[in-house]
A and B are shown apart, each in its own frame.
Chain A
């Protein structure tokens, strides 16, 4: 019923991101190839790297499953950074295993040493690719960067006429009723208003905004005034949904994340990923306009004894 996409851009890492991606994809295919070999011919692989096939067949199969999972994850997931990091974890596991196996089997120690060197080489590539992927996604690699733009695109369909939803939204003082993080909106004059939000980690951010364009019944566009700590702008559009199903409400939001990418990452850790936030806000708007209330839940554990 709602849709949300968030893109986080960071000038400096975009180019590195592309290169990192190519290496990551190669590692992904390598993972799948090695994994298939380990799963289908664990004994042959074991002999090649100097392990006792009888003793280690099952373990090599399991390692193979792990490799295939990492590979598929890297190639198909939008969070490929996490999957490449999973390869680094796998490398550590392999090295630890080879080290213990090498101590136990004297006869094939040379082969095991060669295998260990190969794993160490791949591990180095994995670390490089992981760091690039992570940087491209704008997490640990760009801590503290200031030029991070967050771009959120979210939509919901509400069973009400466009004009009605426009009117509700245009009275900005209504917004805190469904926007969870918005503490208050104070109308200054026809075009200007003062906004105050609860930011992650208990902080508050305020700014003044102005309406950039107002098309009654159709859209409202706003932007922060130059004095804002968190420069932001957005547009909400109201278009009739096909089949008499009310109105498609689309919100587009851009802002410079406080604390750069780090701020966004910390926000995510606290479960406040911006796209999710706006999607949940729109869902509450839908509840409010369709059912007259925002549905609350109280669990017996958190309820106070009255």
Chain B
């Protein structure tokens, strides 16, 4: 089959690789119909995610048709159309049972590597480095899905791929980002980053009862999408004005009740701060650039919540812990517990509360994935979200 393979920093190649096969009794093989490029795939593309190996298949947002099931998969049948969550979860361990699917205790065969870096291991992920399991990803014609009796969600006929594909990751991620804010009526929420996850965080904050949402980015077309499609009340272009000053002004000096970091480890910012963090990153003195996160913490009203859904990989520097402590802030974070949100969000899509396809700006065949990464990275041609069609 054809697959989009990582061959080093900023090097991707469509390669012919062996078809995946059933390895465990709870596996299924999915023929991919639609797969997307995630902002977090760019961290891999840019070489910031450790333990990638040449030939690794990328991609963790995908859906398709079941073509084969292991003997212990009773809930899926060949021909079923499913969306697959990007986190791999056994459904049986203590943490899965508590709904914390993204920290499943049994789905990372390379847990020992993650333990060395993070203390304990999170769940295995599709197409996201060997530290997180080394599972071949979804930017391919076929994917092997472990614990297929727990993860994949069956999609009723009549709903196009475009509307449900993002149940695999970014819609639940944006939603969880808003949910972690503990939104009360009247709340003002600020969202850093107007990529697709940021757009869904904005829309979700309104679904959960926020009164006003303020969106922050530097790319004009993304800010426009936030206003016109996600419904942001106000937008701030951080290259044109001071975010902290503007947020104070927009909130009568209080600061937002909650702040969502939908940016993560490769943030951009004002030239000096960016240069400082970029240099430290290059010298391996910090692995992540927490520019948006620092700002979110400083901006948040006292007693508020900072919700972190942007991906961080390792260590950060100049973290304003004093602000968190002295101003009673709560920081909440996590890889998305996708399994928890798929069904309720599918119902919302069916009811028409949200149509996630508004973020799609480009559709390309899988064979053009390397070009698509290049375009997405440089935000060329108004690129917000690329969907690759595999078959």
Contact of A292 among B3, B72, B121, B144 (CB under 8 A): B72
A49–B158 alpha-carbon span in the complex (Å) = 80
Contacting chain A: which of B50-58, B266-274, B357-365? B50-58
Interface residues of B in 107-127 (CB under 8 A from A): 107, 109, 111-112, 115, 120-121, 124
A300-B136 contact given A291-B147, A292-B25, A306-B18, CB 8 Å threshold? yes
Of all chain B residues, which has the CB nearest A246? Answer: B94
Q: What is the distance, in angstroms, from B390's C-beta to the closest C-beta of chain A?
A: 15
Asked if A299 and B53 sit within 8 Å, CB to CB, the answer is: yes
Contact of B146 among A290, A292, A295 (CB under 8 A): A295
Asked if A287 and B106 sit within 8 Å, CB to CB, the answer is: yes
Of all chain A residues, which has the CB nearest B55? Answer: A301
A283 at the interface (CB under 8 A from B): yes
Asked if A293 and B134 sit within 8 Å, CB to CB, the answer is: no
B133 at the interface (CB under 8 A from A): yes
B327 at the interface (CB under 8 A from A): no
Interface residues of A in 238-297 (CB under 8 A from B): 245-246, 276, 279-280, 283, 286-287, 290-297
Asked if B3 and A295 sit within 8 Å, CB to CB, the answer is: no
Chain B residues with Cβ below 8 Å from A291 are 26, 90-93, 106, 147
A306-B134 contact given A246-B94, A292-B26, A300-B55, CB 8 Å threshold? no
Q: What is the distance, in angstroms, from A28's C-beta to the closest C-beta of chain B?
A: 20
Of all chain B residues, which has the CB nearest A159? Answer: B94
Asked if A293 and B26 sit within 8 Å, CB to CB, the answer is: yes
Asked if B111 and A283 sit within 8 Å, CB to CB, the answer is: yes
A273–B146 alpha-carbon span in the complex (Å) = 28
B24 at the interface (CB under 8 A from A): yes
Chain B residues with Cβ below 8 Å from A245 are 94
Sorting the interface of chain B by its residue count into under 10, 10 to 19, 20 to 34 or 35 or more gives: 35 or more
Asked if A159 and B55 sit within 8 Å, CB to CB, the answer is: no
Chain B residues with Cβ below 8 Å from A201 are none
Contact of B20 among A157, A283, A298 (CB under 8 A): A298
A304–B23 alpha-carbon span in the complex (Å) = 13
Contact with A along B142-156 (1 / 0, CB 8 A): 001011000000000
Contact of A306 among B21, B106, B120, B133 (CB under 8 A): B21
Of all chain A residues, which has the CB nearest B26? Answer: A293
Q: What is the distance, in angstroms, from B116's C-beta to the closest C-beta of chain A?
A: 10
Chain B residues with Cβ below 8 Å from A283 are 111-112
Asked if B112 and A280 sit within 8 Å, CB to CB, the answer is: yes
B19 at the interface (CB under 8 A from A): yes
Of all chain B residues, which has the CB nearest A301? Answer: B55
B279 at the interface (CB under 8 A from A): no
Of all chain A residues, which has the CB nearest B17? Answer: A300
Contact of B105 among A286, A293, A303 (CB under 8 A): A286
Chain A residues with Cβ below 8 Å from B21 are 298, 303, 306
B45 at the interface (CB under 8 A from A): no
Of all chain B residues, which has the CB nearest A277? Answer: B112
B135 at the interface (CB under 8 A from A): yes
Of all chain A residues, which has the CB nearest B133? Answer: A297
B305 at the interface (CB under 8 A from A): no
Of all chain B residues, which has the CB nearest A276? Answer: B112
A1 at the interface (CB under 8 A from B): yes
Q: What is the distance, in angstroms, from B119's C-beta to the closest C-beta of chain A?
A: 10
Contact with B along A167-202 (1 / 0, CB 8 A): 000000000000000000000000000000000000
Chain B residues with Cβ below 8 Å from A107 are none
B202 at the interface (CB under 8 A from A): no
Question: Which of A246, A293, A298 is packed against the most chain B CB atoms within 10 Å?
Answer: A293
A1–B94 alpha-carbon span in the complex (Å) = 11
Sorting the interface of chain A by its residue count into under 10, 10 to 19, 20 to 34 or 35 or more gives: 20 to 34
Asked if B5 and A300 sit within 8 Å, CB to CB, the answer is: yes
Chain A residues with Cβ below 8 Å from B136 are 298-300
Interface residues of B in 1-34 (CB under 8 A from A): 3, 5, 15, 17-21, 23-26
Asked if A295 and B109 sit within 8 Å, CB to CB, the answer is: yes
Of all chain A residues, which has the CB nearest B54? Answer: A301
Asked if B19 and A297 sit within 8 Å, CB to CB, the answer is: no
Of all chain A residues, which has the CB nearest B121? Answer: A1
Asked if A300 and B57 sit within 8 Å, CB to CB, the answer is: yes
A128–B256 alpha-carbon span in the complex (Å) = 59
Q: What is the distance, in angstroms, from A227's C-beta to the closest C-beta of chain B?
A: 34
Contact of B90 among A280, A290, A305 (CB under 8 A): A290
Contact of A305 among B18, B54, B57, B92 (CB under 8 A): B18
A131–B90 alpha-carbon span in the complex (Å) = 47
Asked if A300 and B25 sit within 8 Å, CB to CB, the answer is: no
Chain A residues with Cβ below 8 Å from B20 are 298, 303
Of all chain B residues, which has the CB nearest A296? Answer: B23
A83–B114 alpha-carbon span in the complex (Å) = 23
A245–B134 alpha-carbon span in the complex (Å) = 29
Asked if A1 and B19 sit within 8 Å, CB to CB, the answer is: no
Asked if A299 and B55 sit within 8 Å, CB to CB, the answer is: yes
Of all chain A residues, which has the CB nearest B103? Answer: A1
Contact of A159 among B23, B92, B111, B112 (CB under 8 A): B92
Asked if A286 and B106 sit within 8 Å, CB to CB, the answer is: yes
Chain B residues with Cβ below 8 Å from A1 are 105, 111, 120-121
Interface residues of B in 36-71 (CB under 8 A from A): 53-57
A298–B143 alpha-carbon span in the complex (Å) = 11
6 additional A-B residue pairs with CB within 8 Å, beyond A283-B112, A296-B24, A299-B56? A2-B115, A246-B94, A290-B105, A293-B26, A294-B24, A300-B3
Query: Can you list 10 residue pairs at the A/B interface with Cβ under 8 Å?
Result: A1-B111, A2-B115, A157-B94, A291-B26, A297-B23, A298-B144, A299-B134, A300-B5, A303-B18, A306-B21
Closest 3 CB pairs of A and B: A300-B17, A301-B55, A296-B23
